[in-house]
């Protein structure tokens, strides 16, 4: 069974630009969560989607948004990038009602 | 407001000895706890979990202990092996509804010395 895949793996952007990251969950997993990992803050929850609906949201500004498609694939978008958005963005998928999340390798975003 | 805290950023243990990683939490609503292991350039990998109705869960070399009154959990690895060198995160959730919204600690880098 293929794991969670994330594209691209690495990305370099400049301040003010926007970026879209993609996540393909494990087949059959309908819940997709996104996390931001930074050295100072650790892993922080961004949002979770289930059946194309945002079910949970973390404490991030509105510049961070996401969506989920009917095939459970998910994208997250960050607009008006700031230097502090440089981080590893991780996507995780899980089965409904299952506490165990399976993480992808992440997308390393660098904002210059 | 750090609801899950791992106060030791790093830990060094000799191969064959016991590794003990600690985690504290402040939110009494948390009722499910997990440990994840992370290698560089990879996503976190699930290791072991424990529900608040238990105080201990074992899986091979890994044991997690939960002390609800102290709001403290620990992960014991016995015996430690070089391949255990990684960053370990503890995480917590509130019920099944919160299962996909994990609150993570900041991680502890474990180094196993041969």
pLDDT tens-digit series, residues A56-96: 899 999 999 999 999 999 999 999 999 999 999 999 999 87
Task: For residue A7, give the 3-state DSSP assignment.
Answer: strand
pLDDT tens-digit series, residues A99-110: 788 999 999 999
Report the gap between the CA of B70 and the closest CA in chain A (Å): 23
Q: What is the pLDDT of residue B97?
A: 60
Q: What is the pLDDT of residue A8?
A: 97
Query: What is the C-alpha R_g of chain B?
Result: 13
Q: Which of B49, B102, B106 is the closest to A45 by Cβ?
A: B102
Sign of CA dihedral A104, B40, B81, B106: negative
Tell me the C-alpha distance between A94 and A102, whole Å.
6
Burial per residue of A32-61, b for 16 or more beta-carbon CB atoms within 10 angstroms, e otherwise: bbbbbbeeeebbbbbbbbbeeeeebebebe
Which DSSP letter does residue B9 get?
S
Q: Which residue is associated with the tokens 């959730």?
A: B93
Q: What is the pLDDT of residue A1?
A: 63
Which residues fall within 8 angstroms of residue A65, CB to CB, at 6 or more apart?
A76, A77, A78, A79
Q: Does A106 touch chain B (CB under 8 A)?
A: yes
Q: What is the pLDDT of residue B99?
A: 60
Q: Does B107 touch chain A (CB under 8 A)?
A: yes
Which DSSP letter does residue B23 get?
E
Tell me the C-alpha distance between A108 and A9, whole Å.
6
**Helices and strands, counts by H and E, chain A:** 0, 11
Split at pLDDT 50, 70, 90, the class of B107 is: very high
pLDDT tens-digit series, residues B47-85: 999 999 999 999 999 999 999 999 999 999 999 999 999
pLDDT tens-digit series, residues B9-52: 999 999 999 999 999 999 999 989 999 999 988 899 999 999 99
Closest to B109 measured CA to CA, from B8, B4, B2:
B8
> Does the pLDDT of residue A3 top 70, yes or no?
yes
Tell me the C-alpha distance between B102 and A43, whole Å.
9
N- to C-terminal Cα distance for chain A?
A: 37
Task: Report percent pLDDT > 90 for chain A.
Answer: 83
Tell me the C-alpha distance between A41 and B48, whole Å.
23
CB B2 within 8 A of CB B103: no
Q: Does B106 touch chain A (CB under 8 A)?
A: yes
Q: Which residue is associated with the tokens 């509105």?
A: A62
């Amino acid at each position: 069974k293929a794991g969670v895949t994330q594209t691209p793996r690495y990305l370099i952007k400049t301040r003010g630009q926007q970026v879209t990251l993609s996540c393909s969950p494990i087949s059959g997993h309908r819940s997709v969560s996104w996390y931001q990992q930074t050295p100072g803050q650790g892993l922080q929850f961004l949002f979770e989607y289930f059946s194309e609906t945002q079910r949970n949201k973390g404490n991030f500004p509105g510049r961070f948004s996401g969506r989920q498609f009917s095939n459970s694939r998910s994208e997250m978008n960050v607009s008006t990038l700031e230097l502090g958005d440089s981080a590893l963005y991780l996507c995780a998928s899980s089965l409904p009602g299952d506490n165990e999340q399976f993480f992808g390798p992440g997308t390393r975003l660098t904002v210059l | 407001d750090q609801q899950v805290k791992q106060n030791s950023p790093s830990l060094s243990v000799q191969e064959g000895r016991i590794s003990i990683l600690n985690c504290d939490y402040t939110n009494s609503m948390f009722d499910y706890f997990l440990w994840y292991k992370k290698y560089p350039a990879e996503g976190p990998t699930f290791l072991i979990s424990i529900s608040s109705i238990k105080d201990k869960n074992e899986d091979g070399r890994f044991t997690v202990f939960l002390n609800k009154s102290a709001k403290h959990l620990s992960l014991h690895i016995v015996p430690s092996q070089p391949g255990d060198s990684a960053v370990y995160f503890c995480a917590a959730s509130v019920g099944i509804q919160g299962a996909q919204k994990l609150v993570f600690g900041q991680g502890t880098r474990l180094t196993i010395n041969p």
